[in-house]
Structure 1
Amino acid sequence: MGTDAFQQGGKTFIKYHYDVFNKDQYPAEMFAAAPNLPPCGANKKSSRTWIDIFDSRGKRLFGFCAITKPADLNQLWFALEDGVVPPSYVYIELNDRQTNTKYKSNLADTSE
């Protein structure tokens, strides 16, 4: 979906953006606030479903715990320090913490 650069801690990072094309197939209740489930760090309003991005070998690159609706699945990203070659492919996992169900995506090419 694209890239952009940002500065943090005196370093430059490249942010790789992704969209979940079939996001409309996920029910809104999967992303409802889940105060009855463990929080995400200090975020006590984390959603029922957490999303993690992995490289093709299974290394976690970044995660999201406050996506509030399926449409927000167009705002996923991970960042690497400028000059670091991104993995060739990534995938996401949606972890529905209420039903203890994981949904794994197909591999997505990072060069697109």
Structure 2
Amino acid sequence: MTEQRQIDIMITGEPPTCPRCGEEGLLLVDVPYGWTNAGGTAADGRNGVVLCAGCDARVPHAAPLITWFHVHGVADDGDDEFVRLLVAWAQHVHGSALDMDALDAEAELWRHGLL
């Protein structure tokens, strides 16, 4: 049996900004992530992921949801089609993998008082 992940839609006053291109996104979701740290301990948490019409247009599970937004404009959890498309996309959404090089660089800046 496949384990279901809880994906939370984040409601904000303004549309989310896509961290990849800087343009206005369509939807922000909070997805679980997990990895094993250097000590072998599991590190679990949640990460925000933006659905972006430009960046995700060619992503198979995102394209139908993007089209839904172009037709309907605003998320509506009472719309069965929206919910179906959202679930299909969300099953394939994953937060960014931990970038150890970026983490090490940020830690180094912090140690030198530059953050």
So what's the TM-score if we normalise by structure 1? 0.29
The structure where strand makes up a greater share of residues is 1
The structure where helix makes up a greater share of residues is 2
So what's the TM-score if we normalise by structure 2? 0.28
For the pair shown, which has the larger CA radius of gyration, 1 or 2?
2
